């Protein structure tokens, strides 16, 4: 199959696909050596059998027709595990596809398991097999081989059948609203805005003191800005381990920075070393009274709640087996720890459809109004008279 490599051909293809009720979409990209993903291929297919492959690396091609299709309210855009694909689309035009359907999330709602893979859905739903030999190839090299093109095309052609089956199951089980709630997070622009000021959050799990968090905020923000400006992975600027070491040790001199084992020899006397020390000083200048410690750092779910958390895990598994839904989409371990500590914790499991499905049962278990027993090797949930 030929690659679309001109704007006019792309516009014609997008016009045809816009006439379909839905279009399946996937992308191939590279980001091993960059901060931002490098888009290398776009795949799309419709229920009429039409399928296209687009070369975003072609000279002078304008991807606006593709962006316009993603924004077309008359067409459902279908992806599998869409987080990174949506990030790319956001980068292209600061829009997010709508209406939107993620088959991985839908599969969890329909009981296919946690974070079910595309390959598994192809096997189970489309009754087909995928040749994975091209999965980890270099998509930026040209020309692409026939095997690469066939693999890329299979990522959207099988998705047509998967979408049709899952959409039908959601209607049958009346769980469409559950999926809509999940899609709201994936289609929020805030999900894709890489704000350096928030970069510290993914590294804060080991922090125990407000001063450590203050320094972490500044060092992580500096690293994020550097990575964005130079378009290189964060680890090329400073590895996570080193960022954490700087935050906990808070070196305020060249010599102190050089003594950290995670800092390469001589690094402390470079321009980068000076910028790290400047970030540490900004951390010391912060008012620690305004810093809210991460929940996990405060020991949420610790103390005497361990046994209760384990009971909530058993209850969650039992409910999920009965209702045919994946546990991961209902509650995380952090959610269960928060719920064990506080009946009014601000966690998803106490809101919306999750509360009706599991949250109320969890609260009843805590208060002794619900019990767990074993019958024929299975956990049974019973109301206490």
**In 3D, which of 329, 234, 313 has the Cα closest to residue 32?**
234
Is pLDDT at 98 greater than 70 in this prediction?
yes
**Which tops the pLDDT comparison, 379 or 23?**
23
d(CA 363, CA 67): 46
Q: Give the torsion sign (CA, 184, 62, 21, 45).
A: negative
Is the backbone peptide bond immediately before 340 cis, with ω within 30 degrees of 0?
A: no
Mean pLDDT of the chain: 91
pLDDT in tens, 250-295: 999 999 999 999 998 898 999 999 999 999 999 999 998 877 766 5
Q: How far is CA 203 from the centre of its chain?
A: 16
Residue written as token pair 């829009």:
95
d(CA 242, CA 249): 10
pLDDT in tens, 142-160: 999 999 999 999 999 999 9
Question: Which domains occur in the chain, in start order?
Answer: 7-191 (3.30.420.10), 196-290 (1.10.150.80), 299-383 (1.10.150)
CA distances from 82 to 1, 45, 71, 208, 215 (A): 25, 16, 16, 34, 34
pLDDT, residue 301, reads: 45
Is pLDDT at 297 greater than 50 in this prediction?
no
Rg (CA), the chain: 25
Cβ burial of 28 (10 Å; 0-12, 13-18, 19+) is buried
Q: Tell me the pLDDT band of 207, cut-offs 50, 70 and 90.
A: confident
* Beta bridge mates, 102: 79
């Amino acid at each position: 199959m030929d690659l679309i490599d001109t704007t006019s051909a792309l516009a014609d293809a997008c016009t045809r696909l816009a006439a379909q009720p839905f279009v399946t979409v996937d992308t191939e990209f590279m980001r091993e050596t960059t901060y931002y993903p490098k888009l290398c291929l776009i795949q799309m297919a419709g229920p009429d059998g039409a399928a296209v492959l687009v070369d975003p690396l072609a000279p002078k091609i304008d991807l606006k027709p593709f962006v316009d299709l993603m924004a077309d309210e008359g067409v459902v855009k279908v992806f599998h595990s869409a987080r990174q694909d949506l990030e790319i689309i956001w980068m292209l035009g600061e829009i997010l596809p709508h209406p939107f359907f993620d088959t991985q999330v839908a599969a969890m709602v329909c009981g296919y398991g946690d974070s079910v893979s595309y390959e598994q859905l192809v096997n189970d739903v489309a009754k087909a097999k995928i040749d994975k030999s091209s999965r980890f190839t270099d998509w930026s090299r040209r020309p692409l081989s026939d095997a690469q093109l066939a693999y890329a095309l299979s990522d959207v052609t099988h998705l047509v059948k998967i979408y049709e089956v899952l959409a039908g199951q959601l209607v049958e089980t009346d769980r469409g609203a559950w999926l809509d709630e999940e899609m709201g997070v994936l289609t929020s622009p805030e999900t894709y805005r890489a704000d350096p000021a928030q970069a510290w959050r993914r590294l804060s799990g080991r922090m125990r003191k407000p001063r450590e968090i203050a320094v972490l905020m500044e060092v992580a923000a500096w690293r994020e800005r550097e990575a964005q400006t130079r378009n290189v992975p964060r680890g090329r600027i400073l590895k996570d381990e080193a960022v954490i070491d700087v935050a906990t040790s808070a070196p305020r001199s060249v010599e102190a920075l050089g003594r950290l084992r995670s800092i390469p020899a001589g690094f402390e006397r470079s321009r980068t070393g000076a910028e790290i020390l400047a970030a540490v000083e900004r951390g010391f200048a912060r008012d620690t009274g305004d810093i809210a410690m991460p929940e996990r750092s405060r020991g949420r779910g610790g103390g005497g709640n361990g046994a209760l958390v384990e009971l909530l895990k058993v209850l969650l598994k039992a409910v999920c087996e009965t209702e045919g839904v994946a546990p991961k989409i209902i509650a995380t371990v952090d959610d269960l720890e928060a719920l064990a500590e506080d009946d009014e914790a601000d966690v998803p499991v106490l809101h919306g459809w999750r509360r009706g499905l599991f949250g109320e049962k969890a609260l009843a278990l805590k208060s002794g109004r619900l019990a767990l027993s074993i019958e024929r090797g299975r956990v049974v949930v019973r109301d206490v008279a």
